[in-house]
């Protein structure tokens, strides 16, 4: 199959390398200089210096050239690039199916990626999301991983999972697109919380409680939007939550660790050198939860630390001071 991967950060590059083992892959990078550098080095020296490009991977700075003849487009910019990139695809007359791999809700609109896609893509073009526990560095190195392809069109999800499956990247199919998108957005917020918790040395008990109650929050938010409960027990729910909240390769967890050291958010983001989707997602998830009347105390606490300069000890006191309740609530 001929694939186009749009976005040459860590994740787009890792997916391009992985799928180039079996397919012809065109990797699009919006920056001409970075594209030339990658072409010359046959590697993404900025994000994945130790993972050389297979011969079947070509690099492009020109979008129409990258998507020419593509049978499937993987859109792997940060979430802020989803709408502009979909607009550019539509302007270029593309009607190839699209899978996005960016995680979050659109900043300012609270929209899920599929809602943005519904606004920007022709209605009949198949679309969905690739998500799940997958650090770019490990996927690029060919370490074993498993992720989910979700689409409202179950046949499209299954066909695409079958076509892209490799011996080191196992693909599962799901038709719960909104559930998978919610897992992806909320787990990043919870990974920031886990980083704060570990950075403050609150202990392993605290982290286990935080993640369990965080998962309950994720599932409540999902239930209010018609997602299936079992999705949150799957790769794109608890799977990605465990990885991101406990794995030190996570940028979102790192945000939390640095905040716990006392750094201000602006300095944290400057130091990171990568996108941390949990930061904009926290605000959008909380706004949407409030609009739906869903209680998300951990997300609210993360927002207080991120945007209101609240002291972590005060947020902890608020969380621990809540009235006892039944665990299923």
Ligand X SMILES: O=C(CO)COP(=O)(O)O
Name the site residues for ligand NAI (rule: CB under 6 A).
Answer: 7-12, 30, 47, 76-79, 81, 84-85, 101-103, 134-136, 274-275, 277
- Binding site for NADPH, residues? 11, 30, 47, 103, 136, 251, 275, 277
For every residue of 221-276, DSSP letters joined together read HHHTTT--GGGGGSIIIIIHHHHHHH-TT-HHHHHHHHHHTT--HHHHHHHH-S--
Query: Quick count: other Cβ atoms within 10 Å of Cβ 122?
Result: 11
User: Rounded to the nearest whole angstrom, what is the least distance from the CB of residue 124 to ligand NAI in the complex?
Assistant: 25
Is 103 or 111 the residue whose CB approaches ligand X more closely? 103
Is 78 or 297 the residue whose CB approaches ligand NAI more closely? 78
User: Rounded to the nearest whole angstrom, what is the least distance from the CB of residue 256 to ligand NAI in the complex?
Assistant: 15
C-alpha distances in angstroms, 117 versus 79, 112, 159, 285? 12, 9, 20, 19
Q: In 3-state terms, what secondary structure has residue 98?
A: strand
Picking from 186, 315, 316, 195, the residue whose alpha carbon sits closest to that of residue 252 is 195
Judge residue 157's burial from the number of C-beta atoms within 10 Å of its C-beta, 0-12 exposed, 13-18 middle, 19 or more buried: buried
User: Rounded to the nearest whole angstrom, what is the least distance from the CB of residue 82 to ligand NAI in the complex?
Assistant: 8
User: Rounded to the nearest whole angstrom, what is the least distance from the CB of residue 44 to ligand NAI in the complex?
Assistant: 9
Is 89 or 198 the residue whose CB approaches ligand X more closely? 198
> What are the φ and ψ backbone dihedral angles of 175, each rounded to 5 degrees?
-105, 15
Judge residue 155's burial from the number of C-beta atoms within 10 Å of its C-beta, 0-12 exposed, 13-18 middle, 19 or more buried: exposed
Is 113 or 214 the residue whose CB approaches ligand NAI more closely? 113
187 a catalytic residue: yes
Residue 221, binding choice from ligand X, ligand NAI, none, Cβ under 5 to 8 Å by partner class: none
User: Rounded to the nearest whole angstrom, what is the least distance from the CB of residue 95 to ligand X in the complex?
Assistant: 29
Residue 240, binding choice from ligand X, ligand NAI, none, Cβ under 5 to 8 Å by partner class: ligand X
Query: Quick count: other Cβ atoms within 10 Å of Cβ 248?
Result: 10
Kindly state whether residue 103 participates in binding ligand X, applying the rule CB under 6 A.
yes
- Binding site for sn-glycerol 3-phosphate, residues? 103, 132, 134, 187, 240, 250-252
- Binding site for NAD(+), residues? 7-12, 136, 251
Residue 175, binding choice from ligand X, ligand NAI, none, Cβ under 5 to 8 Å by partner class: none
Catalytic residue among 2, 87, 111, 187: 187
Is 12 or 239 the residue whose CB approaches ligand NAI more closely? 12
| Token digits of residue 246 | 């406990």
Kindly state whether residue 135 participates in binding ligand X, applying the rule CB under 6 A.
yes
- Residues from 234 through 253 that contact ligand X (CB under 6 A): 240, 243-244, 250-252
Query: Quick count: other Cβ atoms within 10 Å of Cβ 213?
Result: 16
Strands 24-28 and 57-60: parallel
Q: Kindly give, in sequence order, each residue whose CB lies less than 8 Å from that of residue 2, ignoring residues fewer than 6 positions away.
A: 23, 24, 26, 69, 70, 71, 72
Active site residues: 187
Summarize as ranges the residues that interact with ligand X (CB under 6 A).
103, 133-135, 188, 191, 240, 243-244, 250-252
């Amino acid at each position: 199959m001929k694939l186009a991967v749009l976005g040459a950060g860590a994740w787009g590059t890792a997916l391009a390398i992985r799928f180039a083992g079996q397919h012809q892959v065109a990797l699009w990078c919006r920056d001409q200089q970075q594209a030339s550098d990658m072409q010359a080095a046959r590697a993404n020296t900025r994000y994945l210096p130790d993972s050389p490009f297979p011969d079947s991977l070509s690099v492009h700075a020109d979008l129409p050239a990258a998507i020419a003849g593509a049978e499937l487009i993987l859109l792997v910019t940060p979430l802020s690039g989803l709408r502009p990139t979909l607009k550019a695809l539509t302007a270029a007359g593309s009607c190839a199916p699209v899978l996005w791999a960016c995680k979050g809700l659109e900043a300012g609109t609270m929209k899920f990626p599929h809602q943005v896609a519904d606004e920007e893509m022709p209605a009949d073009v198949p679309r969905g999301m690739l998500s799940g526990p997958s650090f770019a560095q490990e996927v690029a190195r060919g370490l074993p991983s498993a992720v989910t392809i979700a689409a409202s069109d179950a046949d499209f999800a299954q066909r695409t999972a079958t076509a892209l499956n490799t011996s080191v990247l196992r693909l599962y199919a799901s038709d719960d697109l909104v559930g998978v998108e919610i897992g992806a957005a909320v787990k990043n917020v919870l990974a920031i919380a886990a980083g704060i918790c570990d950075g403050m040395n609150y202990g392993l008990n605290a982290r286990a409680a935080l993640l369990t109650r965080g998962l309950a929050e994720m599932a409540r938010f999902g239930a209010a939007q018609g997602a299936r409960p079992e999705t949150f027990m799957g790769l794109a729910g608890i799977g990605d939550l465990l990885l991101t909240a406990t794995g030190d390769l996570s940028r979102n967890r790192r945000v939390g660790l640095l905040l716990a050291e006392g750094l201000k958010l602006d300095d944290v983001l400057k130091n990171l050198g990568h996108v941390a989707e949990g930061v904009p997602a926290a605000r959008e998830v909380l706004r949407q939860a409030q609009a739906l009347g869903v209680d998300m105390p951990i997300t609210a606490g993360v927002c207080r630390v991120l945007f209101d300069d609240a002291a972590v000890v005060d947020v902890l006191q608020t969380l621990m001071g809540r009235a006892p309740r039944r665990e299923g609530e």
